[in-house]
Amino acid sequence: VLDSQYGTYVWPCAVVLAQYLWVQRRSLLGKRVLEIGAGVSLPGVVAARCGAQVILSDSEELPQCLQSCRSSCLMNRLPHVPVLGLTWGRVSPELLSLAPIDIILGSDVFFDPKDFEDILTTIYFLLEKNQHAQFWTTYQVRSADWSIEALLYKWNLKSTHVPLHSFGADKEHLASSSMPGRHTIEMMIISLAQPEGT
């Protein structure tokens, strides 16, 4: 995909997150997975191909991104994967009616600092509803000044860094793509800091 708009391009973070999902593929079978900010949906498509029950989502205000999700599903013979319009920071009927989930995926959603709190508000809402779920996310380091640490604390969330070498994503070329090697990509898993009942 040559168009570099937000949701119509396979960003390097998506390739790295897809690699993590591939390495974790045996644990994905039957898991309920939601990808937020899915766009072209590479991670969600990989999860679905590995046997997860996947829901793809992107902003209800970006119909071209929702269409990218649907097109990716059709091209990968996954016509049954639902696509929802979910806007970060907004509690909508679609968000409220989501079935239980085990894993939330987000590749390069921490792109614009003005969206960081809306993203984490949505993640907190989902993790509160699904106490043992996790948010698996990759992001590109674009500025040393950008941090979500204070927001994680505010929303009672914790993050665990996942080294890229631990899942073979520290190579120059990954899945026939040279993209990740030219960027500084990080991965973390975000969960509730103190789930109820523990």
Alpha carbon distance 99, 22 (integer Å): 24
pLDDT score, position 158:
95
Alpha carbon distance 21, 168 (integer Å): 11
94-103 mean pLDDT = 95
Lowest mean pLDDT among 8-12, 17-21, 87-91, 115-119: 8-12
Cβ contacts of 161 within 8 Å, gap of 6 or more: 186, 187, 188
pLDDT score, position 3:
44
Assigned domain for 197 exists: no
Structure confidence at residue 113 as a pLDDT band (50, 70, 90): confident
Assigned domain for 139 exists: yes
Assigned domain for 4 exists: no
Looking at residue 113, the DSSP 8-state letter turns out to be G
Structure confidence at residue 176 as a pLDDT band (50, 70, 90): low
pLDDT score, position 8:
55
Q: Across the beta sheet with 32-35, what order do the strands follow?
A: 83-85, 53-58, 32-35, 103-107, 134-140, 185-192, 157-161
123, 157 Cβ separation under 8 angstroms = yes
DSSP 65-100: HHHHHHHHHHHTT-TT--EEE--TT---HHHHTPPP
pLDDT score, position 145:
73
Report the CATH number at residue 49.
Answer: 3.40.50.150
Lowest mean pLDDT among 4-8, 84-88, 134-138, 187-191: 4-8
Residue 130 backbone dihedrals phi, psi, to 5 degrees: -130, 75
**76: pLDDT strictly greater than 70:** yes
Q: How many domains does the chain have?
A: 1
Assigned domain for 58 exists: yes
46-56 mean pLDDT = 96
- Cα dihedral across residues 132, 100, 120, 40: positive or negative: positive
Domain that holds residue 20: 12-192
44, 56 Cβ separation under 8 angstroms = yes
**105: pLDDT strictly greater than 80:** yes
Assigned domain for 130 exists: yes
Alpha carbon distance 54, 70 (integer Å): 13
Mean pLDDT over the full length of the chain:
87
* 197 or 13, higher pLDDT: 13
94-113 mean pLDDT = 93
Assigned domain for 105 exists: yes
Assigned domain for 132 exists: yes
Assigned domain for 182 exists: yes
**56: pLDDT strictly greater than 70:** yes
